[in-house]
């Protein structure tokens, strides 16, 4: 793929060709112009892995920990390595552009996509995102910062008006974009779905042109989120270069007409097209050919990086009496709903099919040299677990046979026009194409066998965009083909989950048949608006358990085993694009399970998997508590590495864990109400609020323990002529294990500041690895102007006010060994730009 002469090509393009270049060709590609050598570029989702272009039967990929897990590493160098592998994975999928990283701020624990973003703090988020983008750039692949800006909830996300002060917009929500752009200058930015102060961001000239282009001097491409374009001339004039996906809804003839009627000036259209052409040249450097085939990598060195990242993301919240690490030579009891399920990522566009996924039970079993016992205790699913991986095809492989027909099941002598072997039974058919399909209405039979390990009543369910019937040994168990109700599945295009049940015997093999009809066969209200074309399906099932009996079995096991670990938390059912969480609670029955197991064995370790905070009413009783996030392919191994001490935990919380939902600063102002959401907490987001109000928290921002101990000493500050404040200190590992310390640098406002400010704000951080007894000198630099500024709404500029500012340096142990020093700002200054 060769670069193009932008000026020459721009002069030779026809109006219709220019217009075509400002919109996508299909879901993942830009429009080519072969006669002028303009290729089609490919994009792929990329918050935690590169899925490729296929939703149906996609090529497996490397899956990293979710973004809050990456944020918990506080490791900029590691994020560069993550970005580099993301770039290599993109090349394997033939993608020139990665749709990530996501760097929105978690203003509430309830955000459905909160797990996709790094932190509640802009400096941490922006710095890590910048290093991620630098890693991607090493492979000459284009990263895309998203979602620009204030896309912090899923409720009414296409239309909600985010009402936010200019100060909060600058200090909190734009800040991570500003930092990442300054550090790495990625090639693209994706606009948010929502409005900001009354104007959709995709149409907001103030944000896209005045701030992004003029003030920050950024010259890359601005694309819409998928179906996030809402106008023709307004969006073009505001600075949105590319409408995605194709086929276009707002460009095409409508844009040609707007140009001919002077609603869009020719030079403005040329600016949009020029940015597309510049992106072509940037993407050409990757060496990825046009329309390249998709493949996987899954190299040993990649697995090692995935495992390292998973383990470094884990945060040790409590470890009273040094219960952890466990002894590999002793028996261990594994209990809980997340034990045998690999909860490797959240739901929505971040979801992908991994090369492999290691469950916590598998990870513990592989690491232990003694007996590993198991008790379920309770379930943690919101929807029944998918059935596909538990089935067997006729050749004995996991999965089922997928056969497509033009005729319904009632037709005699019908013949299959397609046959495939699939594993997942949670599938979008949006890109399923077969030239033998005669119309939009077609049918699929999916067959496999199921051999249960335990006898009992099994519950089954079906969710569809279309229609579906599930048969077990010829008996209709679930019928989701009529009287359908719309639910939240498949980005709110699917039905609610419909259930049925059947008693099964252990060891007996049953024939499972799922009959699916494409979208037109369904009658769910509003199905005409589905973006998934042929439809979608999900068939699922598991053995019904009596909660109290199952908890009793877990308690019995825990009481008889010295080493016990409980795996609980959320999963992609609870945290997903398309909807927000209703509360912070763990799934029903989980708290009771944990409490009763802890009562039976107080030394049981609790491991929670979630992308955002959860309530922990049993936290005081837990002596060993671990936050493990969604850990990607190596989830189970990464957790086991920490539990058994092969890796010394070094993660720190990238967001505050409140005691209750009611305690969080956005509690009164979350969700869309009559089309708007008030950012009433202003700049007091996350730890800024809790520290300002002195409200107790469950676990604070930046908290995380280690199996070793550290001291920080000898803080020195010097200011250079270019107004750089240089910090140096000594960090010592005073324990018996090698470990990593995160040095956190906060700046306190000057007492003379003219407005109220948070008590302290993170301004720099650095991770340092130390052997037992080792000391290292750590140096960090602060831009004095940037580190002391707030947004002055009257001056419409950043203000660094004169006065005395204090620096606090913290790390493992929090308020212990806090180092303090002061520096002066001699004269008030106002500034703009990056």
- Cβ–Cβ < 8 Å for 97, 83: no
Distance (Å, whole) CA 27 – CA 353: 19
Distance CA 445, CA 402 (A): 6
Q: Which of 807, 314, 811, 279 is nearest to 609 (CA)?
A: 314
- What's the CA gap between 793 and 789, in Å, rounded? 12
Q: How many CA atoms lie within 13 A of 28 on its CB side?
A: 25
Q: In the beta sheet, which residues pair with residue 820?
A: 808
Give 3-state DSSP helix, strand, coil % of the chain, rounded to 5. 25, 30, 45
Q: How many CB atoms lie within 10 A of CB 445?
A: 19
Query: What is the rounded distance in angstroms from the CA atom of residue 342 to the CA atom of residue 752?
Result: 53
- Nearest-Å Rg of the Cα atoms of the chain is 27
- Pairing mode, if any, of strands 739-748 and 761-770? antiparallel
Cβ atoms of 238 and 209 within 8 Å: the answer is: yes
Within 10 A of 389 (CB to CB), how many other CB atoms are there?
Answer: 12
Question: 611 to each of 164, 346, 571, 658, how far by Cα in Å?
Answer: 25, 8, 8, 14
In three-state secondary structure terms, 93 is coil
Q: Which contiguous run of DSSP H or E holds residue 301?
A: helix 300-313
Choose among 136, 577, 73, 190: nearest CA to 352. 577
Query: E-strand spans in 425-474?
Result: 426-428, 443-450, 456-465, 467-472
* Secondary structure in 3-state letters for 482-543: CCCCECCHHHHCCECCEEEEEEECCCCCEEEEEEEECHHHCCCCCHHHCCCCCCEEEEEEEE
The tokens for 338 are 């997340």
756 phi, psi to nearest 5 deg: -70, 140
Whole-angstrom CA distances from 195 to 152, 201, 272, 668, 827 are 11, 6, 22, 20, 38
- Residue 593 CA from chain centroid, whole number: 28
How many angstroms separate the CA atoms of 280 and 261, rounded?
29
**Phi and psi dihedrals of 59, rounded to 5?**
-75, 130
**Phi and psi angles of residue 621, each rounded to the nearest 5 degrees, phi first:** -80, -25
Phi, psi for 822 (deg, rounded to 5)? -130, 155
Q: How far apart are CA 830 and CA 788, in angstroms?
A: 11
User: Rounded distance, CA 687 to CA 704, Å?
Assistant: 15
Question: CA-CA distance, 258 to 263, in Å (whole number)?
Answer: 5
Q: Which residues are catalytic?
A: 225
Three-state secondary structure string covering 99-138: ECCECCCCCCCCCCCHHHECCCCHHHHHHHHHHHHHHHHH
Tokens found for residue 126: 């922006």
Instruction: Quote the tokens at residue 203.
Output: 């149409």
CB 374 within 8 Å of CB 531: no
């Amino acid at each position: 793929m060769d670069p193009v002469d932008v000026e020459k090509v721009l002069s030779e393009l026809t109006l219709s060709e220019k217009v075509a270049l400002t919109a996508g060709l299909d879901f993942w590609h830009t429009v080519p112009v072969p006669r002028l050598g303009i290729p089609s570029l490919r994009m792929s989702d990329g918050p935690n892995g590169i899925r490729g272009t296929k939703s149906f039967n996609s090529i497996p990929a490397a899956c990293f920990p979710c973004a809050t897990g990456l944020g918990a590493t506080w490791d900029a160098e590691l994020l560069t390595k993550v970005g580099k592998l993301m770039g290599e994975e993109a090349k394997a999928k033939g993608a020139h552009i990665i749709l990530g990283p996501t760097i929105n701020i978690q203003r509430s624990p309830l955000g459905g996509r909160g797990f996709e973003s790094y932190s509640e703090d802009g400096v941490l988020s922006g710095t890590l995102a910048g290093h991620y983008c630098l890693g991607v750039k090493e492979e000459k692949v284009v990263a895309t910062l998203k979602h620009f800006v204030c896309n912090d909830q899923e409720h009414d996300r296409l239309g909600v008006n985010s009402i936010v002060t200019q100060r909060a917009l600058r200090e909190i929500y734009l800040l991570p974009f500003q930092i990442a752009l300054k550090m790495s200058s990625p090639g693209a930015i994706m606009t948010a779905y929502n409005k900001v102060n009354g104007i959709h961001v995709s149409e907001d000239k103030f944000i896209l042109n005045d701030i992004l282009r003029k003030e920050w001097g950024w010259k890359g491409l601005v694309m819409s989120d998928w179906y996030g374009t809402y106008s023709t001339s307004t969006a073009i004039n505001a600075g949105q270069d590319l409408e995605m996906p194709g086929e276009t809804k707002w460009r095409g003839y409508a844009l040609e007409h707007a140009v001919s009627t002077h609603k869009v000036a020719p030079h403005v259209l040329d600016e949009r097209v020029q940015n597309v052409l510049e992106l072509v040249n940037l993407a050409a450097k990757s060496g990825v050919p046009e329309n390249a085939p998709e493949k996987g990598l899954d190299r040993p060195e990649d697995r090692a990086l995935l495992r390292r990242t998973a383990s470094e993301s884990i945060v040790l919240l409590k470890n009273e009496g040094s219960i952890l690490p466990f002894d590999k030579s002793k028996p261990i009891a594994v209990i809980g709903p997340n034990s045998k399920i690999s909860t490797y990522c959240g739901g929505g566009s971040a979801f992908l099919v991994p090369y492999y996924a290691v469950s916590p039970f598998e990870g513990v079993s592989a690491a232990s040299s003694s007996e590993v016992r198991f008790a379920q205790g309770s379930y943690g699913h919101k929807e029944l677990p998918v059935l596909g991986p538990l089935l067997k095809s006729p050749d004995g492989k996991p999965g089922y046979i997928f056969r497509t027909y033009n005729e319904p099941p009632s037709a005699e002598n019908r013949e299959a026009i397609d046959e495939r072997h699939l594993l997942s039974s949670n599938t979008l058919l949006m890109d399923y194409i077969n030239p033998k399909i005669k119309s939009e209405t077609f049918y699929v039979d999916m067959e496999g066998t199921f051999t249960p390990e335990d006898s009992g009543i099994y519950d089954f369910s079906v969710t569809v965009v279309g229609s579906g019937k599930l048969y077990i040994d010829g008996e209709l168990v679930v019928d989701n083909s009529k009287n359908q109700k719309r639910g939240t599945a498949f980005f709110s295009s699917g039905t609610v989950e419909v259930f049925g049940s059947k008693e099964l015997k252990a060891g007996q093999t049953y024939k499972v048949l799922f009959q699916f009809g494409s979208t037109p066969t369904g009658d769910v209200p509003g199905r005409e608006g589905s973006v998934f074309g042929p439809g979608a399906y999900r068939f699922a099932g598991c053995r019904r358990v009596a909660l109290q009996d199952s908890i009793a079995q877990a308690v019995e096991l825990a009481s008889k085993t010295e080493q016990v670990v409980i795996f609980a938390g959320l999963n992609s059912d609870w945290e997903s694009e398309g909807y927000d969480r209703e509360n912070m609670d763990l799934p029903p029955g989980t708290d009771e399970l944990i409490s009763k197991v802890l009562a039976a064995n107080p030394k049981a370790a609790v491991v929670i998997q979630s992308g955002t905070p959860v309530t922990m009413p049993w936290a005081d009783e837990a002596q060993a508590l671990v936050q493990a996030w969604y850990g990607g392919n190596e989830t189970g191994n990464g957790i086991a590495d920490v539990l058994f001490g092969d890796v010394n935990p070094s993660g720190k919380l990238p967001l505050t864990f409140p005691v209750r939902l009611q305690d969080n600063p956005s509690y009164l102002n979350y969700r869309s109400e009559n089309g708007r959401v008030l950012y009433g907490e202003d700049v007091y987001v996350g730890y800024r609020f809790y520290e300002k109000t002195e409200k107790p928290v469950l676990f604070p921002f930046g908290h995380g323990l280690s199996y070793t101990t550290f001291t920080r000493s000898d803080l020195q500050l010097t200011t250079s002529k270019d107004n750089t404040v240089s910090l140096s200190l000594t960090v010592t590992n005073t324990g018996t294990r090698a470990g990593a310390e995160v040095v956190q640098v906060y700046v306190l406002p000057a007492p003379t500041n003219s407005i109220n400010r948070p008590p302290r704000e993170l301004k720099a951080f650095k991770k340092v690895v130390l052997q037992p007894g080792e000391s290292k000198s750590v140096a960090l630099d602060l831009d004095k102007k940037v580190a002391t500024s707030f947004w002055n709404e009257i001056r419409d500029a950043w203000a660094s006010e004169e006065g005395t500012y204090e620096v606090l340096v913290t790390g493992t142990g929090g308020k212990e060994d806090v180092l303090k020093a002061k520096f002066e700002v001699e004269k008030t200054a106002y500034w703009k730009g990056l």
